[in-house]
C-alpha cells in the first residue's frame, strides 16, 4: 500500500502488538540462525535449521484455545480533509475465541476474510487477477459479509 499511496499520504503506520518481549524473542531466534534454510551438518546428517526448530518448538506452541483464549483487535484510522473540513475516519474490530465452535479469533478473522474473498472471486464480485485488498475488494459488501459470520467492524467519524 505504501507504493499505491506514494505522494498522496503524509504518513502511514502499521503496528502489530503481540505479548511483551515477542520482538526480542523472535530477533534472538533469527540471530541464532534457527530460521536458516541452508542445511547444516549435524553428526553426519544434513539438517535445515528452520525445519529442526519448527519440529521441536511447533508442538510446544500449540495451546488449547479453551484454556488460553485469544483475541484480535484491529483499528484503521485515516485523517484528512473531507468536504472542506478536517476529519478522522475509524474502523474498529474486536474479536475473541468462540467457545461454541472452538474457533480462535485468529482463525475467524483470517479464515473468514479469505473465504469471503474467495467467494467474491468465484462469483465475479471482484475482477480476476492480483491486486491489493484496498483496491480489489469492495469495502462495504466485504464488511457486510464478515458481519454475517460474526466479525463486526465498527465505523466512526471523529
DSSP notation for 4-49: TTTTT-S--------STTHHHHHHHHHHTTTT--S-EEETTEEE-H
- Local confidence band at 1 (pLDDT 50, 70, 90 cut-offs): low
For residue 51, what is its C-alpha cell? Answer: 525445519
What is residue 132's predicted lDDT score, i.e. its pLDDT? 81
Mean per-residue pLDDT, 122-145: 88
* Residues 88, 49 share a domain: no
* Residues 82, 152 share a domain: yes
What is residue 73's predicted lDDT score, i.e. its pLDDT? 92
* Range with lowest mean pLDDT among 56-65, 83-92, 104-113: 56-65
Q: How many domains does the chain have?
A: 2
Expressed as residue numbers, the domain containing 28 is 22-61
Dist CA 72 CA 49 (whole Å): 31
What is residue 2's predicted lDDT score, i.e. its pLDDT? 64
What pLDDT, in 10s, does the model give residues 18-43? 777 888 999 999 999 999 999 999 99
Amino acid at each position: 500500500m505504501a507504493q499505491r499511496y506514494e505522494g498522496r499520504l503524509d504518513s502511514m503506520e502499521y503496528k502489530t502488538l503481540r505479548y511483551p518481549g515477542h520482538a526480542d524473542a523472535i530477533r534472538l531466534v533469527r540471530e541464532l540462525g534457527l530460521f536458516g534454510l541452508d542445511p547444516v551438518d549435524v553428526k553426519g546428517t544434513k539438517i535445515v535449521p528452520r525445519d529442526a526448530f519448527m519440529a521441536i518448538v511447533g508442538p510446544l506452541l500449540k495451546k488449547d484455545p479453551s484454556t488460553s483464549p485469544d483475541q484480535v483487535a484491529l483499528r484503521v484510522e485515516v485523517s484528512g480533509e473531507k468536504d472542506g473540513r478536517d476529519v478522522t475516519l475509524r474502523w474498529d474490530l474486536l474479536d475473541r475465541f468462540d467457545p461454541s465452535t472452538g474457533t480462535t479469533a485468529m482463525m475467524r478473522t483470517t479464515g473468514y476474510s479469505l473465504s469471503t474473498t474467495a467467494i467474491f472471486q468465484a462469483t465475479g464480485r471482484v475482477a480476476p487477477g492480483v491486486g491489493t485488498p484496498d483496491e480489489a475488494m469492495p469495502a462495504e459488501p466485504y464488511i457486510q459479509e464478515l458481519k454475517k459470520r460474526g466479525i463486526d467492524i465498527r465505523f466512526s467519524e471523529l
